[in-house]
Amino acid sequence: MISGDGPHASIVRDAGSAKTGLGWLARRLLAREAGALAILGPLEGIPALVRAEPERLEREFIDGRPMQDAKPCHVAYFNAASRLIRQMHRRGVAHNDLAKEPNFLVTADGGPAIVDFQLAMVTKNRGRLFRMLAREDIRHLLKHKRTYCAEALTARERRILENPSWPARLWAATGKPVYLFITRRVMGWQDREGAGDRV
């Protein structure tokens, strides 16, 4: 849900919207997103955390268009998005859901922004699992680059694209469909940048 207008607009998630029996999951997702945003802020291109409570999360609304609408076709966008992702990784955050184009925004100045950190991994120990997830963040960005700016892909980037990790294959086949059903259909949580619906 979008609250407010103009520079003071924010995105609000409410665990109270979860159906009976799913409140624990809603609170866990809220806590995961709040933890990631708290560590990443202030980082340009990442929404600032406004307020985090056990049942409610409020974060900055970023004025931008979802990737599938903006269709960025300039290599500068993808280079900047790659730098932003690597900054996240250096702070110990792997997004873990960048396969979805709506999680990438194109801001008014043509730069990248990233939203929806409910599945983020936050860790001080960047061990093997974290490195695999971080690599998947980059691989998903490259998939989008292949869609909109394929001519700019390097040979190394093509090799990365051809080799998804086993956790990525397992998640796509099992966990992700369940997660999307619960958060989108049951809880009605969506990041609404570019959708034009202000509440």
pLDDT value at position 172?
A: 64
Q: Which 8-state DSSP code applies to residue 2?
A: E
Q: Say if residues 104 and 85 touch (Cβ distance below 8 Å).
A: no
Mean pLDDT of the chain: 86
pLDDT value at position 169?
A: 63
Report how far apart the first and last C-alpha atoms of the chain are (Å, whole number). 7
Average pLDDT over residues 58-83: 97
Beta strand 10-14 with 2-3 is: antiparallel
Give me the half-sphere count of Cα atoms (radius 13 Å) on the Cβ side of residue 113.
27
Interval 124-164: pLDDT, tens: 988 998 999 999 999 999 999 999 999 999 999 999 998 88
* Cα(109)–Cα(112) distance, integer angstroms: 9
* Cα(179)–Cα(32) distance, integer angstroms: 14
pLDDT value at position 23?
A: 78
pTM: 0.81
Domains in the chain and their CATH numbers? 2-186 (1.10.510.10)
Interval 6-63: pLDDT, tens: 556 899 988 876 666 777 888 899 999 999 999 998 899 999 999 999 889 999 999 9
pLDDT value at position 44?
A: 95
Pair of tokens at residue 191:
């990041």
* Cα(164)–Cα(175) distance, integer angstroms: 16
Q: Is 116 exposed, middle or buried (0-12, 13-18, 19+ CB in 10 A)?
A: buried
